Amino acid sequence: MKITISEVSKYVGQEVKIGVWLANKRSSGKIQFLQLRDGTGFIQGVIVKSEVSEEAWNIAKELTQESSFYVNGIVREDHRSPSGYELTVTDLSIIQITEDYPITPKEHGTEFLMDHRHLWLRSSRQHAILRIRNEIIRATYEFFNEHGFIKIDPPILTGSSAEGTTDLFHTKYFDRDAYLSQSGQLYMEAAAMAFGKVFSFGPTFRAEKSKTRRHLIEFWMIEPEMAFTDHEESLKIQEQYVSFIVQSVLKNCRMELKTLDRDISKLEKVQAPFPRISYDKAIELLKEKGFDDIEWGEDFGAPHETAIAESFDKPVFITNYPASIKAFYMKPDPDREEVVLCADLIAPEGYGEIIGGSQRIDDLELLKKRYEEHNLTDPAYEWYLELRKYGSVPHSGFGLGLERTVAWISGTEHVRETIPFPRLLNRIYP
């Protein structure tokens, strides 16, 4: 019976066949211990000289790291092994003997590993991180489907920019200009007026010259948008959504979190509601913490966000930023025009902003005014203004950065390890 490692629990005591790669090997004379992986998991294969053919024993001796082969064996329960199972090998058939695999069990530098990202993906740490990424994506679809959202796919090639005109990747679009999308939001607003509650999940591109552990040039964003929904209602959805994905990872990725040595007691606390602090209060808090230079009206950098997050053991919403440092489409607070109805959600433990969201301006005249004030004269967004002409309603939405969220939940220092093939300021290989 040909199975995968993830299925072994159903075959205890039976002989199975699994297509595998050799992750590592240890030998003690008459027994060889093979660390096997097949993409679905890891299992130890034990081969005893006196119990197999001479040929099988010799093949096992020849196996090098990352050699590929089929292994036959009997599944045994084994409480000492991390997976809970072991394979007593009965036979082996080689597919390829690998020579000089570059990533050995010894330590390698980051640049070396990044140059070999196409192979590095096979290591147990990277495997665990990307499985957590997969679980967050799965849980995202579950959450939004269960809450009555429709998935809508905004375009990636656009005629103009959503967030302002800087940081855009430019390309030719036949004899015109086009840009890679920085955010699908404006299109999602059109979709919300057609379908009520919508969400998108796709790649976004920012030509930011930032070289930090939180910035990617190409990253994936989940962007929900909701008609007839004010800022307060949007915050409730955000905290429920983030709690749900954290709890889903805790439930479905125990092994991966263990592989990564993640302190799960910190994740267990992540349950809605989340604390909130206004931008004004955040400025006061920062001054108390010794950031004497920060003035009202300035945006927060990573050190500010980390200092604010330290005061809380759950993600924290920073609300009502000054209009001057936020995007043109954010709705001003009716009681206080200089701030907008927005929030950034800051992850605990120094992982920074994972969500940016706001209520959107629904009044045509105000939106036009803001659009011009931001020097956005591009007629490519006529259609966006028109949404305020035909049945405009209060609406809100937000964008969650997938890689920063994976970094936080998996406890990974740098976002470059949270996406299969990261695009960084100095890297587009492999």
Question: Which residues are near ligand 4AD by CB under 6 A?
Answer: 162-163, 183, 185, 206, 208, 215-216, 219, 221, 223, 353-357, 397-399, 401, 403-404, 415
Query: From ligand 4AD, Mg ion, none, which one binds at residue 341 (CB under 5 to 8 Å depending on kind)?
Result: none
Residue whose CB is less far from ligand 4AD, 51 or 230:
230
Contact 27, 33 (CB under 8 A): yes
**CB of 208 vs ligand 4AD, minimal distance in Å:** 5
Query: From ligand 4AD, Mg ion, none, which one binds at residue 215 (CB under 5 to 8 Å depending on kind)?
Result: ligand 4AD
Residue whose CB is less far from ligand 4AD, 117 or 404:
404
Stretch that binds Mg ion, among 14-22, 220-228, 239-247, 348-356 (CB under 5 A): 348-356
Query: From Mg ion, ligand 4AD, none, which one binds at residue 45 (CB under 5 to 8 Å depending on kind)?
Result: none
**CB of 315 vs ligand 4AD, minimal distance in Å:** 11
**CB of 385 vs Mg ion, minimal distance in Å:** 23
Residue whose CB is less far from Mg ion, 80 or 209:
209
356, 357, 397, 401: residue in contact with Mg ion (rule CB under 5 A): 356
State how far Cα 241 lies from the chain centre: 14
**CB of 219 vs ligand 4AD, minimal distance in Å:** 4
Q: What is the rounded CA–CA span in Å between residue 430 and residue 417?
A: 14
Query: From ligand 4AD, Mg ion, none, which one binds at residue 163 (CB under 5 to 8 Å depending on kind)?
Result: ligand 4AD
Residue whose CB is less far from ligand 4AD, 315 or 356:
356
**CB of 405 vs ligand 4AD, minimal distance in Å:** 7
Amino acid at 66: E
Nearest residue by C-beta to Mg ion?
A: 356
**CB of 111 vs Mg ion, minimal distance in Å:** 29
Residue whose CB is less far from ligand 4AD, 86 or 163:
163
Query: From ligand 4AD, Mg ion, none, which one binds at residue 398 (CB under 5 to 8 Å depending on kind)?
Result: ligand 4AD
Q: What is the rounded CA–CA span in Å between residue 34 and residue 92?
A: 12
Contact 400, 221 (CB under 8 A): yes
Nearest of 39, 11, 174, 20 to residue 98 by alpha carbon: 20
Q: Are strands 85-96 and 157-158 parallel, antiparallel or unpaired?
A: unpaired
**CB of 217 vs ligand 4AD, minimal distance in Å:** 7
* Interface ranges with Mg ion (CB under 5 A): 356
